Amino acid sequence: MTRAYNFCAGPATLPESVLRQARDEMLDWRGTGMSVMEMSHRSDEFVEIAETAEKDLRELAGVSDDYAVLFMQGGASSQFSTIPLNLLGDKGSADYVNTGIWSKKAIAEASRYGKVNVAASSEDSGFTTIPDQASWQTNADAAYLHYTPNETIGGLEFDFIPESPSVPLVADMSSTMLSRPVDVSKFGLIYAGAQKNIGPSGLVVVIIRKDLLGKARKETPTMMNYQVIADNGSMYNTPATYSWYLAGLTFQWLKGQGGVTAMGEVNLRKARKLYGFIDTNDFYANPIDPRFRSWMNVPFTLADDALNGEFLKGANARGLLNLAGHRSVGGMRASIYNAMPEAGVDALIEYMTEFAKERG
Amino acid sequence: MTRAYNFCAGPATLPESVLRQARDEMLDWRGTGMSVMEMSHRSDEFVEIAETAEKDLRELAGVSDDYAVLFMQGGASSQFSTIPLNLLGDKGSADYVNTGIWSKKAIAEASRYGKVNVAASSEDSGFTTIPDQASWQTNADAAYLHYTPNETIGGLEFDFIPESPSVPLVADMSSTMLSRPVDVSKFGLIYAGAQKNIGPSGLVVVIIRKDLLGKARKETPTMMNYQVIADNGSMYNTPATYSWYLAGLTFQWLKGQGGVTAMGEVNLRKARKLYGFIDTNDFYANPIDPRFRSWMNVPFTLADDALNGEFLKGANARGLLNLAGHRSVGGMRASIYNAMPEAGVDALIEYMTEFAKERG
């Protein structure tokens, strides 16, 4: 097979040009005689790679000097503990919004370190909508307000940034980061596991407002202390250098695509196409409130679950891969991140059309 | 430049055949139409890659079923907290042996979680030797006994495994793992950052005796809880999949070289050659007690420090890279891990000979 269309939710498809460049540079990065993964993280060459990646990310996402950008390890799941350990401080409690499986995981971990107030939840609706902010029960003395802008498994995405004028807003942007323009200045902390829109797994990007540094609890492992990581330019220890390099290549690619504004337009078009098809075809369904449908993760069901196996088999045969839904929810899910070309969505719709005709 | 001889202490040179295979498989792993870094960590393909890597590591290092093998993130520095958080338990104190900069870092971090008893130290000697075990002041009720078999910066390596019949022995093998045969059954826990003998940075391998699982302190971040990681086959969250794959390729390569016994013979020969040369040439010196000289990291000084810059420049011009000593100690250091071919050591000695003749 040549390159397939890979709809995996993460690790996810990467831009083909990024992979080609990584391939071409694998044995000898620009005449150095080394692979990037063989370079000292303190070498001039790697420091330039690292700094360029940070600069490009700042430019793409619009991150001002009021924020530190950290390249850490351990994925978003490590951040679920790192955040309360660093930010709970004297307050001892934080507000969390529960909109699905990833919110719940964040809440469970934070509850081990302090009081969690679930300010709002859409669990009653089966996580198919987002509660209106007017109904949220937030606390003015919470250490922070945490939410999950895009639920990767549920396919539920905020179309607004919550107002939080007095309490720092914290967001798990793992599966929506860089997919559309976002006003970073509204946030205290943004974090994102890389393996969706940024690069390979094993890297997590943290954007933190500098006034939130230096508040870590005494028992915080040094490697989880944002201040330490920031003070050392994410090189307190050896960072995940190769993942950082690949993230940098992806940022370069994204700049070449016109940045997040242009990418957001493509992503909106891809999502509208796919949801539009699902809504107008009786054989497929998506349960999410149309206003809050994810641009990145599109779950859908077939009219008859017994056909799921056949659907997946036919998809695989056409090079449409990883369409099975998360093991916790079943059904199908098409993740259509930045690196999924519009032609991939077209090919999926074409296959879905034929399958519905033949088997519907 | 084609491939250079890269003497970096880590991230370090990798076997060229590993890089070639990674390059060739970058865009399409065995006809799947995906790069390994784009695969779901729960896919059949990746699970096979992961399980094969673990199996090969067990075979290479001689790890029995009494031990769990974990592929974690955050490097050895994260383990400096993870170990006390998981192993201190009710005991509250642990014994540490101080033989250099990495020992000291491990001690500093553990001291944040409990009482550290420095059972032995070679600091008085400038970390040039290992105190005889008969002189160690260990505690029978310590939770564990920690040591650093090879000090990457100092170039000091144990030539024996400490006796610790009643207290679990814990070892930071980051820079010596798989470089020679080791009796794993003598250890409670072995950990190793990957970026020396295993693969790229961003991966840390932990080998833990199963009876030591399940003892984590209440406040341990879930991602640092050995029991959780073991129960989930190192996939509690998305692991560093690409680094795991590369580690697997390196294990395959090492098996092809005849495993750790054959590799140990080559490594001993490489080390003897280089130290032998240094000892017989008046221009160069190595300060370490000959019995405890590292097979992996060979620090050396020039007779005149003022020539360091010229030495490095000439070395770079010949493709002998990263010979500068650690910024904390200066001088030179040649790291000659598994992947450094004997020809690289020969080339280094040839250059050192000429440089001493011309400038000595």
Give which of B43, B73, B327 to mutate to test A binding, by max A Cβ within 10 Å: B73
Instruction: Based on the residue annotation, tell me whether A196 is a catalytic residue of this protein.
Output: yes
Domain A258-359, classified CATH 3.90.1150.10, yes or no: yes
**Which of A34, A71, A83, A297 to mutate to probe the B interface, most B CBs <10 Å?**
A34
Verify whether the Cβ–Cβ distance B40 to A9 is below 8 Å.
Answer: yes
Cβ-based contacts of B202 with chain A (< 8 Å): 73, 202-203, 239-243
- Whether residue A241 lies within 8 A of chain B, CB to CB, comes out as yes
Does any CB of chain A come closer than 8 Å to the CB of residue B239?
Answer: yes
Mean pLDDT of B324-351: 94
Which residues, listed in sequence order, are joined to residue A284 by a DSSP beta bridge?
A: A302
Q: Which of residues 39-58 of A touch B (CB under 8 A)?
A: 39-43
Site of tokens 């831009």? A15
Residue A47 φ then ψ, to 5°: -60, -35
pLDDT tens-place string over residues B227-250: 999 999 999 999 999 999 999 999
Q: Find out whether A148 is annotated in a ligand binding site.
A: no
pLDDT for A162 beyond 60: yes
Average pLDDT for chain B: 97
Beta carbons of A78 and B12 less than 8 Å apart:
no
pLDDT score of A329: 80
Chain B nearest-CA distance from A40, in A, is 5
Please tell me the total number of residues recorded for chain B in this structure.
Answer: 360
Residue B272 clears pLDDT 90, i.e. is over it? yes
Inter-chain residue contact B11 with A238, CB threshold 8 Å: yes
B30 touching A (Cβ < 8 Å):
no
The pLDDT, as a whole number, for residue B224 is 98
Answer yes or no: is B73 a known binding residue: no
Q: How far is B134 from chain A (nearest CA, A)?
A: 34
- Give a three-class secondary structure readout of chain A: CCCCEECCCCCCCCCHHHHHHHHHCCCCCCCCCCCHHHCCCCCHHHHHHHHHHHHHHHHHHCCCCCEEEEEECCHHHHHHHHHHHHHCCCCCEEEEEECCHHHHHHHHHHCCCCEEEEEEECHHHCCCCCCCHHHCCCCCCCCCEEECCEECCCCEECCCCCCCCCCCEEEECCCCCCCCCCCHHHCCEEEEECCCCCCCCCCEEEEEEHHHCCCCCCCCCHHHCHHHHHHCCCCCCCCCHHHHHHHHHHHHHHHHCCHHHHHHHHHHHHHHHHHHHHHHCCCEECCCCHHHECCCEEEEEECCHHHHHHHHHHHHHCCEECCECCCCCCCEEEECCCCCCHHHHHHHHHHHHHHHHHHC
Q: What is the pLDDT of residue B147?
A: 98
A28 touches chain B (CB under 8 A): yes
The residue annotated as part of the active site, out of A56, A95, A136, A172, is A172
Mean pLDDT, residues A184-193: 98
| Confidence band of B327 (pLDDT split at 50, 70, 90) | confident
Q: Which CATH architecture has domain B17-256?
A: 3-Layer(aba) Sandwich (3.40)
With bands split at pLDDT 50, 70 and 90, how would you rate the model's confidence at B1? low
Which chain A residues are Cβ-neighbours of B13 within 8 angstroms? 34, 38
Q: Does B34 touch chain A (CB under 8 A)?
A: yes
Closest partner CB to A223 (pick from B38, B78, B199)? B78
| B73: contact with A, CB 8 A cutoff | yes
Tell me: ipTM over 0.95.
yes
How far off is chain B from A224, nearest CA to CA, in Å?
8
- Percent of chain A predicted with pLDDT > 90: 97
Q: What is the pLDDT of residue A123?
A: 97
Q: pLDDT tens digit string along B135-159?
A: 999 999 999 999 999 999 999 999 9
Considering CB atoms only, which of B22, B81, B222 is closest to A223? Answer: B81
Asked if pLDDT for residue B333 goes beyond 70, the answer is: yes
Query: At residue A1, does pLDDT exceed 80?
Result: no
pLDDT, tens only, B15-69: 999 999 999 999 999 999 999 999 999 999 999 999 999 999 999 999 999 999 9
Q: Is B137 annotated as a binding residue?
A: no
B136 in a known ligand binding site = no
Using CA atoms of B260, B262, B265, B268 in order, give the dihedral in degrees to the nearest 10: -40
Chain-chain contact of B201 with A82 (C-beta, under 8 angstroms): no
B42 assigned ligand-binding residue: yes
Distance from CA of B340 to the nearest CA of A (A): 12
- Give residue A112's pLDDT: 97
Residue A59: Cβ within 10 Å count: 12
List the single residue in A with minimal CA-CA distance to B114.
Answer: A219
Please report how the helices A16-24 and A241-256 are oriented relative to each other, as an axis angle in degrees rounded to 10: 130
Q: Which residue of B has its CA nearest to A199?
A: B37
Q: Where in chain B is the domain with CATH 3.40.640.10?
A: 17-256
Q: Is any Cβ of chain A less than 8 angstroms from the Cβ of B17? A: no
Cβ <8 Å between B14 and A32: no
Pick A202's closest partner by Cβ from B195, B222, B242.
Answer: B242
Query: What's the rounded Cα separation, in Å, for the pair B300 and A256?
Result: 47
pLDDT in tens, A212-247: 999 999 999 999 999 999 999 999 999 999 999 999
Q: Contact at 8 Å (CB) between A307 and A348?
A: no
Q: In chain A, which residues have their Cβ closer than 8 Å to the Cβ of B200? A: 37, 240-242
Cis ω before B11 (30° cut-off from 0): yes
Which residue intervals of chain A bear CATH 3.90.1150.10? 258-359
pLDDT per residue as tens digits for the range B290-309: 999 999 999 999 999 999 99
Nearest CA in chain A to B83: A221
The catalytically annotated residue of A29, A102, A136, A295 is A102
Provide the 3-class DSSP secondary structure of residue B305. helix
Neighboring chain A residues of B40 at a CB cutoff of 8 Å? 8-11, 322
